[in-house]
Structure 1
């Protein structure tokens, strides 16, 4: 083994050249892969679309890492899938596979002992198999109903040993399957959000105003004949930077905000104790419905340079309120 304290001197230019060479080799591998996408690829997609269960992705070593990623991508884009370690499968994990499932097996050589050992059991159960290998004539390639040729002209590793181009090709082929299936199923952004509820897209497409708005006693509301001082006290108690002004039936008449208060204070003629809030409120406030998406509130606030919104029903009765801080806490903005 080389002494790490005696590492050879390598120039920055040589390191960069090595990196570019790897990318060039892998790009060539992907170009070759693209030319092979045809009937076998379509057949694999058909099997996946017709699968009544899940796609069981399996592989050993580096192929196993790629299989895990493919399973995750499939699952998040409308094709139920999971990863099964072929070594553990022989010791009980085969019980995870039902007769309705389809198997996607990855092996660059097509001769992985751990995968070949479980094929007979899968066949007896009636599971169909798609093999992704670098050798169509391999044992795994011949045993599968459909074979996807992921062979590459060369590995990017100069020793020709470490899986590099071959794992890239398998990963890209898995992405190609997932996207083709996504498009075939008519999978939408809303569908994607449902499987990513904690992600940014999920929050934007699934979180509604009713999920984050203040309701009941937490909503700042005063009657139209309330004094400006009473409105100010209500704003202070509820801490949303505004208060809704309603008639006797709870129908919104206007909104009194921090900005309205500042303008009233600038007017020396205004007596906050004697002036009804209805004289100072904004009469055409921006509102939103409880069923609207939270992201719509963010767009309204940004467009009109406001920091809070009153939530109303179809009769314009006040049912809630929210401000920019509620959207920030919900990580919508």
Structure 2
């Protein structure tokens, strides 16, 4: 492709962005009483937010419904055509409906609106026509009108669909903030993501247990501890009394320092172990354990329950394998 055509592509792209941004910049000034009412309706509903739209509005409506659902507001998308063939039965009297149509004259909505009105269901309209049948039937109107589409023929929804998406985000995020929705709440609806791993997993969920936990009795020798170090490969051994309370910790580093000081493998472990030794509570969040490892410059630790008894062991590799990271 020659330089002229390359420059034209850049020009086209920049023109689209400039036009859509110009239209989007008009939205903040349009938020007023109707926006507040729309938010209040959603906040007070005892049911779900049902989002519906057809064509490009439908595609964006699916995203808006997903945004509501993932930020603490139960929601689903209902296709207008399917609604007319049975799916309208999914809407209950406790729900609220968000209908999206730029013209406000989608023929499917002309059949749906009377039924919603008969059910006394509140309607929020996202539309570009404030005099349309949809706007007149709505309890709250969110104005997404534009002067010009970015499409040079003015046919393909571009600026208008961008405004629709932005207005949906404005509504969903404002509701989220009003509800006091937190990171932990978000993680519960995204348990497979990195945020879910960081905020939902506790030490007891990712720690090693049973035979994987390196431990010796407080009457053991250095040799016993060394064999346990070799068996588990964790880099430390918990030294416990008869009730499994940790008296101290013996690490690879302790073993090396002992041998350099001409200690022997037959020395009693209680004489050379680190006291009291660092340990992790099993109720801590996994991300707290990782931060603690970094703060103390260690890579592993035994885990204790609320009574101080040994219940597991954890190292930094276990945390990384579970998807726990200090990075966002």
TM-score band by shorter chain is: over 0.9
Name the counterpart of 1:26. Answer: 20
Name the counterpart of 2:155. Answer: 161
1:188 to 147, 158, 182: 182
Name the counterpart of 2:320. Answer: 328
Instruction: Describe the SS at the equivalent of 2:26.
Output: helix
Name the counterpart of 1:286. Answer: 278
CA positional deviation for 1:130? 0.7
Deviations 1:56-99 (A, max 9, x none): 00101110111111111111112111101111111111121111
Q: Contact (CA 8 Å) 1:33, 1:152: kept in 2 or not?
A: no
Alignment of 1:30-109 (within 5 A): 30-109=24-103
Name the counterpart of 1:144. Answer: 138
Instruction: Give ranges in structure 1 of 5+ residues lacking alignment.
Output: 1-6
Name the counterpart of 1:252. Answer: 246
CA distance in 2, matches of 1:185, 1:286: 39
CA positional deviation for 1:13? 2.6
CA distance in 2, matches of 1:39, 1:210: 49
Deviations 1:87-126 (A, max 9, x none): 1111111121111111001011111122222222222222
CA distance in 1, matches of 2:3, 2:303: 67
CA distance in 1, matches of 2:226, 2:102: 72
Q: Contact (CA 8 Å) 2:148, 2:154: kept in 1 or not?
A: yes
1:116 aligns with 2:116: no
2:291 to 274, 278, 299: 299
Name the counterpart of 1:3. Answer: none
CA distance in 1, matches of 2:307, 2:40: 51
Instruction: Describe the SS at the equivalent of 1:116.
Output: helix
CA distance in 2, matches of 1:325, 1:227: 28
Alignment of 1:210-225 (within 5 A): 210-225=204-219
CA distance in 2, matches of 1:9, 1:295: 52
Given the superposition, is the C-alpha separation of residues 138 and 10 from structure 1 closer, same or farther in structure 2, using an over 3 Å criterion? Answer: farther
CA distance in 2, matches of 1:52, 1:10: 59
TM-score, structure 1 as length reference: 0.92
Q: CA RMSD in A?
A: 1.8
Instruction: Give ranges in structure 2 of 5+ residues lacking alignment.
Output: none
CA positional deviation for 1:10? 4.7
Given the superposition, is the C-alpha separation of residues 230 and 86 from structure 1 closer, same or farther in structure 2, using an over 3 Å criterion? Answer: same
Q: Contact (CA 8 Å) 2:238, 2:302: kept in 1 or not?
A: yes
1:271 to 264, 272, 276: 264
1:318 aligns with 2:310: yes
Deviations 1:182-208 (A, max 9, x none): 121122222212222222222211111
